[in-house]
Structure 1
């Protein structure tokens, strides 16, 4: 691989006509093949009440993936504070590390989208689409939770309360102290095995360049920025992290940036495989919940209306679709513009084998380019 490693972000998508069980088995298969292809990390996302996403229990899936792989790092992107308490997070990931060794990553994120009335961060200020050194940075999409939406129901069933977002920094401090074995109550040391001393790599993930970026930078932690879900705010997010950075866990800033990609053997094949993405993103953004990922024929039969197409235009325009050379070029641009130290690739197609092949084709092209960059031995 290149000096900038590629990693996998898996949402455990459910294809139309398939089942959640099949999607989970496909995830384990993809992880094994991603390890063989040379990917550095395999991260699982957390989503709830979505018919088209089976990744509702990422820590369980992390264990299954880690048990069937041997070298690839495995973790979450992200475990959402507010959905689960700090003590449970530390004990769960400590358990994973105890069972599978020092290759477990814990990515922490703030739970949910802002409620109505929450002040907008500067990165969400209205502006036109921009092209920055070859990278499209579209107008930001301001995602808000609507009353009665699937997102609101998730919050209710998970027991979220309005103060959960404000708890993020405190829960992060608790998790770090439990891992370090330094947490005290009333002057007495409190241990939480197997969290105590667990060799877990901790990351903070964010989208808009707000508190998550500031906290990650202030603590000197590595940071995950989302081009794939929030392409309009990725530069602000990375900039906010770097501006806040102070040496801590790390001596220098370290950023991984995500991207949606589909690689085909030809550009035409990739375009065919990529169909259905607009309908899938619209189902999420509309608050209905992710639909089962459609076939290309199903997508053609149910085109988006003008309102829906406009609501997902930023995501469609920033998905890298093509043959391996084209997609690698787009990833190189993303890396150059954001200064990413790592890239996190997420690919969704209806057909599992096509999805695996997309990752394998990209890995081969990335490795080929890395070999060309290595100076010949003297």
Structure 2
């Protein structure tokens, strides 16, 4: 079964490169992705890191829309703890006004308290050890809690949020966005507010999540499509899709659950070449996991020179073990396994290589193999 294949782009910086280089490469890749037949082109939102230039999805998507014509464009995902729902909708409403009917508004939790109002039991703890489910590796869970409680995280929170501001629960964010799109937003006292731009915008609303927690349940309860992160939190991907489907209620948007699942990949003409191109990936993930933040993506030589410790290897094991690397045929087969085991209706892939031409070629080879299947 062939399902739609899409791209997630972080606008990565590489060692020796600049932010301008990274953004120009994103614009080039987006135009090529449209030529290759990818269904969607999403950009991430990351802040205060030396290795990623995609910090403002709406701004970047406007630039991408100007150089493409057909491919759907979206956010993977807007971090809803740092903006009001109105601000988010005005940004994407403006995009829709300029380039109608092309945008996906992907929303994700960030810097928000967890809601206690959503029905359903808490998700089961992730397995303590790796397992294989019908051919798909579900690795040992990586605990992000120390990173989230670090002094660095506190500094980032200080810079990203207004003093004393309290972010809405994700469910409240989605409710306000949907209400503002439908318009008007009323307070029950005879006062109305209209989002301009934003009201009546032709946006496809998505919720993204990395576990079976609040994001999965909000998406399901509101009958919205859900994107689960195998590339960020592979240990919890099955928990996430199962929680979403259990919570799903039909809506005007969907009559049945609709799931997209992400994966990190590198494709080349043969397995050996792809493995060489993927050598820097572990060192890059290590920079994220050790709390220093994503570094500019290293060259193969820079990565090969790194002396790995047992602690290093433990930090990145789950991501390396679930990195799909090889020929187009090999990676397409791994993606098909991911689709089959998760029941995904769409797949979202991301690739980072030091050389831009290798990155473009990776997506080109995969698209040709995928569409041939």
Query: Into which bin does the TM-score normalised by the smaller protein fall?
Result: over 0.9
Going from structure 1 to structure 2, the CA distance change for 1:164 and 1:63 (only over 3 Å counts) comes to same
The match for 2:49 is: 50
Name which of structure 1's ranges 254-263 and 182-191 shifts more when overlaid on structure 2: 182-191
C-alpha separation in 2, matches of 1:187 and 1:11: 44
C-alpha separation in 2, matches of 1:121 and 1:277: 33
The match for 2:345 is: 341
- Measured after TM superposition, the shift of residue 149 of structure 1 is 4.4
Contact 1:129–1:138 under 8 Å retained in 2: yes
The match for 1:260 is: 264
Q: Does 1:292 align with 2:296?
A: yes
Gaps of 5+ in 2: 115-120
C-alpha separation in 2, matches of 1:347 and 1:124: 29
| Secondary structure in 1 matching 2:11 | coil
C-alpha separation in 1, matches of 2:241 and 2:166: 24
Aligned match of 1:247 in 227, 250, 261? 250
Aligned match of 1:153 in 148, 152, 155? 155
C-alpha separation in 2, matches of 1:260 and 1:189: 45
The match for 2:117 is: none
C-alpha separation in 2, matches of 1:162 and 1:321: 45
Written as runs of structure 1 = structure 2, the 5 A alignment for 1:1-378 is 3-112=2-111, 122-144=123-145, 145-159=147-161, 164=166, 167-185=169-187, 186-248=189-251, 249-369=253-373
| Secondary structure in 1 matching 2:298 | coil
| Secondary structure in 1 matching 2:77 | strand
Name which of structure 1's ranges 124-133 and 323-332 shifts more when overlaid on structure 2: 124-133
Name which of structure 1's ranges 129-138 and 143-152 shifts more when overlaid on structure 2: 143-152
Gaps of 5+ in 1: 370-378
Going from structure 1 to structure 2, the CA distance change for 1:164 and 1:296 (only over 3 Å counts) comes to farther
Going from structure 1 to structure 2, the CA distance change for 1:329 and 1:126 (only over 3 Å counts) comes to closer
Contact 2:112–2:169 under 8 Å retained in 1: no
C-alpha separation in 2, matches of 1:4 and 1:161: 45
- Measured after TM superposition, the shift of residue 126 of structure 1 is 4.7
TM-score w.r.t. the length of structure 2 is 0.94
| Secondary structure in 2 matching 1:106 | strand
TM-score w.r.t. the length of structure 1 is 0.92
Name which of structure 1's ranges 151-160 and 306-315 shifts more when overlaid on structure 2: 151-160
Aligned residues: 364
**1:98-124 per-position Cα deviation (integer Å, ceiling 9, x unaligned):** 011101010000015999xxxx96444
RMSD of equivalent CA atoms: 1.9
C-alpha separation in 2, matches of 1:264 and 1:149: 40
